[in-house]
Structure 1
């Protein structure tokens, strides 16, 4: 996986209002207090402590009337958020080594167990995955006993077989410029989803690039409009399939 855009972006201003807790044996950020509906955010490589993701969790909790969980899926390893905008720190962060440590086989059992726990506690559970987290959402989506619906934003590490295996409603948030979710994969997704028989939607963001929905520049009008539209699109999807 060669994705320089996977480790660049902008840290958002704002103070998260949720709390730190646990989900199974992992630390987790939790926002909201619904007893019926839950959302689990499966993060990109910047993980559960990135302020942007916590701010999104707060929005989701309030606007979709859900309890939102952002679990640590990297076994305690945290990427310095300054690597988003500091070229020296970004250069020193070895993405390939990180992904070798946190490959699908290593991380999937814990992610699956987290979904199973939430499904035992809530009537409806939706997963949303950003970049790295998208592959895990698709694996969850192959088993309706694990998840009720999924959303994926600028997905990476996807395999065509994972798209073919989807059995729950899916939303795809797709920027125009994305060398992880390539034009070929976009086309395959649009060809494959109608064949799955599930409800699906594909939300396209012209002119934007990989990472925008979680790490876009809020001071750039086009990126700000895109990341806000992505948030609204996800909330609408959550409300449709949670309630």
Structure 2
């Protein structure tokens, strides 16, 4: 993964949810809808990352869902100050860290979390950020019958097969500049989505970079606008495909 995965900006604010468990995983939970749930699959900063907890709060309130943000890193936590501190960024080896949390290791946990929600709720969607995108799309594959919809923001580590096998309504939130979601992979996605026979949205964010949907600088008008557009796009997507439970 690229160095851009460990850069970004922390947001102010206090999450309003609670810490609980989902299966065996520690999980941040927010919202009270008993029929519709959204599973957030985190980026490298994990389940304690305030930015993602605040996004979960937004989804819960604005899309009227119960949002779950589990720990898929087995207790490993990356200090979010890494984004602001050059020395900490230098010491943090993204590749080595994620080598401990590869697809074969963490994929089953993501599936189990989604299946648990499916057993408890009438409708379930997932959204994956950066590292979390591949897992979200794997769960959304044809024949799994777990998710009702899936969204991914600036995805990392995607394989073409994970795009080709999508079997539910899907949303891509794609920045202009992204070393992970490359121009070639973007082009493959745009060529593949119309062939899948599922509703899809591909939303493009000109001038923005990898990580914008979870770590944008709110003091920069362009980044703030893109962040709001991404958040609102996800909310509207969840409303559309989880909406009958509202």
TM (norm. structure 2) is 0.97
Task: Tell me what 1:38 maps to.
Answer: 37
The alpha-carbon deviation at position 99 of structure 1 amounts to: 1.2
What SS does the aligned partner of 2:39 have? strand
What SS does the aligned partner of 1:48 have? coil
The alpha-carbon deviation at position 145 of structure 1 amounts to: 1.7
What SS does the aligned partner of 1:47 have? coil
* Unpaired runs of at least 5, structure 2: none
Task: Tell me what 1:169 maps to.
Answer: 169
What SS does the aligned partner of 1:146 have? coil
What SS does the aligned partner of 1:49 have? coil
Please tell me whether residue 181 in structure 1 is matched to residue 181 in structure 2. yes
In structure 1, how many angstroms separate the alpha carbons of the residues matched to 2:179 and 2:65? Answer: 33
> Contact (CA 8 Å) 1:144, 1:168: kept in 2 or not?
no
1:1-243 → structure 2 map (5 Å cutoff) = 1=1, 3-142=2-141, 143-243=143-243
Deviations 1:124-180 (A, max 9, x none): 000000000000011011144221110000001000111000100100000000010
In structure 1, how many angstroms separate the alpha carbons of the residues matched to 2:144 and 2:237? Answer: 17
TM (norm. structure 1) is 0.98
In structure 2, how many angstroms separate the alpha carbons of the residues matched to 1:194 and 1:237? Answer: 18
In structure 1, how many angstroms separate the alpha carbons of the residues matched to 2:222 and 2:91? Answer: 30
Aligned structure 1 segments of 4 or more residues deviating by more than 3 angstroms: none
The alpha-carbon deviation at position 85 of structure 1 amounts to: 1.1
In structure 2, how many angstroms separate the alpha carbons of the residues matched to 1:38 and 1:150? Answer: 12
Q: CA RMSD in A?
A: 0.7
> Contact (CA 8 Å) 1:9, 1:85: kept in 2 or not?
yes
In structure 2, how many angstroms separate the alpha carbons of the residues matched to 1:83 and 1:228? Answer: 24
